[in-house]
Amino acid sequence: MNISSMTKHVAAIALAGAAGTLLSGCGGGSEPNASTAQALQLASASKVAALTAGVNSGQVYTLINPNSGKALDVAASGSADGSNVAIWSPNGSGAQQWRVNANSNGSYSLINVPSGKALDVASAGTADGSNVQIWTANGTGAQQWQINPAANGAYTLTNVNSGKALDVAAAGTADGSNVAIWSANGTVAQLWQLQPFGASNAWRLVWSDEFNGSAIDLSKWSFEVNGNGGGNNELQYYTARPENARTENGHLVIEARKENYTGPDGSRQYTSARLRTLNKGDWLYGRMEARIKLPRGQGIWPAFWMLPTDNKYGNWAASGEIDILEAVNLNASNNTIYGSIHFGGSWPNNAHTTVAYVPPSNVADNYHTYAVEWEPTQIRWYVDNVLYSTQTSWWSAGGAFPAPFDQRFHVLLNLAVGGAWPGNPDGSTVFSQKMEVDYVRVYQK
């Protein structure tokens, strides 16, 4: 969500539309610690699907089959889609490192660390003996696994799509014995021990708002109240009224309304809200995520984003901006969301990189989890744990790389009406429109 002229940004974004489309720049990552997710579940059972005790989301593991003593291994350390998965003597190589990422339905994805590819049932097979391989992460059931405790500290891994278990073919014990799926039978060929590479690989919850209270928590959020257009010629007046922002049924609701409103900055025909964690929640690096259902319509512009707290490198965009999620003009034929960074010099000498992505299900009808993983020299964007963009190149006129993204940032949530990017609402736009936020969470290592 930009805070100055959008002219160059709009011109580039107009070229987008396909999933993962790079607009001036695009490619693994990790997920939050399961123990903290379980604590959140106890606080709000409707928010988080049950996760498996002892399995830390975001942790890197070696999976050992206790029958053979061999590790789950990508053959020949392959990184291409379709590379085969077998068992091999443990050797500490990347071919045997699997990052276990929690999904919102209580299942897990297993991501091979060096390749960034997911453990996958070939062709989404459901028959006994369907082969297991690695494939680009896509969030399908062929890549989702239930991890269930079994005997002696081991686990079974059951593929969500087929209901079949991860199995060493013919209970093999030799290097290269193939791995497939097979009907669950309780044999040792279907048991796996998860041996962690080190807890430092896991994201750990440091801040969250589940929006379970009767009002917005002002120890975590403050309202920006103004009618100055956000630097983008937006049409709304941002207020602190419950009509525009409130908690409701365990969610934050930001509501854009068509109404005449007059404040110190004059009169406007639309109202909405913009909240931020400035000086209440400020972080250097981390995983920032929110589960959101987006509004739709011409001229409607929701955003989940971050700005620098201290502006140590100068005015926008020399001190940076991280847009975790933006969408404009969502409708039946437009399901595109965007992730961006803004950097460079102070406006008008600013630069940006934006990537467009089209989630497989409608973002205005369904909740989706939007996240960035921000590390010193890399920022990654996810939707529902599917990685769609990785950025490693940026600069600031005010300092050496990795400036400007080496200072504290804070989180913002807002719903704009009109502006240089979406254009104005028209006769097709239905009001009011609501941006509904299930939670916001921040993790750090």
Which residue numbers are catalytic? 321, 326
Termini Cα distance of the chain: 27
CA dihedral 254→258→263→264, nearest 10 degrees, is: 90
Residues across the chain? 445
Dist. CA 28–CA 289, nearest whole Å: 16
* 435: nearest Cα among 263, 244, 191, 307: 244
- Sign of the Cα torsion 376, 382, 384, 386 reads negative
CA-based radius of gyration for the chain: 23
Dist. CA 386–CA 136, nearest whole Å: 9
Dist. CA 12–CA 320, nearest whole Å: 18
In three-state secondary structure terms, 352 is strand
Report yes or no: 290 and 369 within 8 Å, Cβ to Cβ.
Answer: yes
Give bridge partners of residue 246 from the DSSP assignment.
253
Report yes or no: 417 and 236 within 8 Å, Cβ to Cβ.
Answer: yes
- Sign of the Cα torsion 251, 439, 413, 427 reads negative
